[in-house]
Amino acid sequence: MKTHLNCPCGEVLTGSDEDVLVERTQAHLAQVHPTMSYTREEILLMAW
């Protein structure tokens, strides 16, 4: 189960499970990096 992701901006995103992590990552991208978008598969590839 992957629950952490290091965003290229230096922020570490965490979630209690993969679904939450993907949601939180997409919310972070929308807020901080509106020009970037990743699919669930891409997010989970980068997650750890």
Binding site for Zn ion (CB under 5 A): 7, 9, 11, 32
Q: What is the DSSP string of 31-43?
A: HH-TT----HHHH
| CA pseudo-torsion sign 12, 35, 44, 23 | positive
Give least dist CB 9 to Zn ion, A: 3
Give the residue with the Cβ less far from Zn ion, 7 or 46. 7
CB of 8 to Zn ion, least distance (A): 6
CA distance 10 to 24: 15
Q: How far is the CB of 19 from Zn ion (least distance, A)?
A: 19
